[in-house]
Homo-oligomer: A and B are copies of this chain.
Amino acid sequence: MKLLVVGSVAFDAIETPFGKTDKILGGAATYITLASSVLKIDSGIVSVVGGDFPQSDLDKLSDRGINIEGIEIVKEGKTFFWSGKYHNDLNSRDTLVTEVNVLENFDPKIPESMQDAEILMLGNLHPGVQLSVLEKMNKRPKLVILDTMNFWMDSAWDVLVRMIAKTDVITINDEEARQLSGEYSLVKAAKKIHKMGPQYVIIKKGEHGALLFHEGKVFAIPALPLEEVFDPTGAGDTFAGGFASYLAKKGLFDFDTMKSALIVGSAMASFTVEKFGTERLEEVTEQQMMERINEFRELTTFEVEV
């Protein structure tokens, strides 16, 4: 199946206890599609960058088979830029700079070549922009996956609720799930979010793994315990990318496939955090992926006979 990803293609400048980078390639759509390319999924990006965005970064994406026809280049504009500094525990960070730039007036255009995508992954953007993408699709994709965040709950509640109502799978973190539902218990939160629209609710818990809720069933995975997290930037987007890509590969959207997709997403994300930015993700081989998935199996498999 073909995967269409709408989201940021951006610059990040990252500082961690281990070092810092200048402006490097970042953005949700970048991480998501790079993850897809590891699984050799036919994917494409709808996004916008400025005249400052290097051709070499566009080439990097297209060389991996990612369809970049939908990346608009606003020559006189500047690319979205985020800069942040992680604390020593790498679990929290301060945002130093956010320059929205060309994303401010982003009017997504879906190239003809991506109109037949069966899976639409809407990366974290203004929910109004996300909605407009759905409206611009000639027909509704078979599966709509939504990523969002607390910022839009605070600033664009009504339109966010309309977007969520059209969503099949929502991915949010635990705090956001609580804010969205008004429930502290994640089980209760997921129930309320189901009622808002999505049949599948994925709650991301960072170093504590993730939960998948569907029709009263739950699946839980831990994160792979890592000796060192080098740079967490992009881990959540890589997770979403691995998840969506496994579904695209299988062409199935049932609970069991979603469970497996969660594992693939987590395995993929565990690579991203090993180096700065997209560096490690770009090097991942299918063989390494399989090994990492086996590590997850080792990590979670048990037999009990009482």
Known contacts: A220-B225, A222-B221. The answer to whether A302 contacts B259 by CB under 8 A is yes
Interface residues on A, range: 35 or more
Known contacts: A218-B299, A221-B300, A299-B219. The answer to whether A264 contacts B306 by CB under 8 A is yes
Question: A306 touches which one: B187, B286, B299, B300 (CB < 8 A)?
Answer: B286
| Residues A222 and B225 in contact, CB atoms below 8 Å apart | no
Known contacts: A222-B209, A225-B187. The answer to whether A290 contacts B263 by CB under 8 A is no
**Nearest 9 interchain pairs by C-beta:** A220-B222, A208-B208, A260-B304, A187-B227, A259-B302, A300-B300, A187-B225, A89-B184, A220-B299
Which residues of chain B come closer than 8 Å to A25, judged between CB atoms?
A: none
Identify which of residues 202-259 in chain A touch chain B, using a CB-to-CB cut-off of 8 Å: 205, 208-209, 211, 217-222, 225-229, 246, 249, 256, 259
Number of copies of this chain that the complex holds: 2
Question: Does A185 have its Cβ within 8 Å of any Cβ on chain B?
Answer: yes
Which residues of chain B come closer than 8 Å to A222, judged between CB atoms?
A: 209, 211, 220-222
Q: Provide the main secondary structure of the chain A interface.
A: mixed
Question: Does A88 have its Cβ within 8 Å of any Cβ on chain B?
Answer: yes
| Bound-state Cα–Cα, A263 to B220, Å | 14
| Residues B225 and A218 in contact, CB atoms below 8 Å apart | yes
Question: Does A28 have its Cβ within 8 Å of any Cβ on chain B?
Answer: no
Which residues of chain B come closer than 8 Å to A256, judged between CB atoms?
A: 302-303
| Bound-state Cα–Cα, A219 to B300, Å | 6
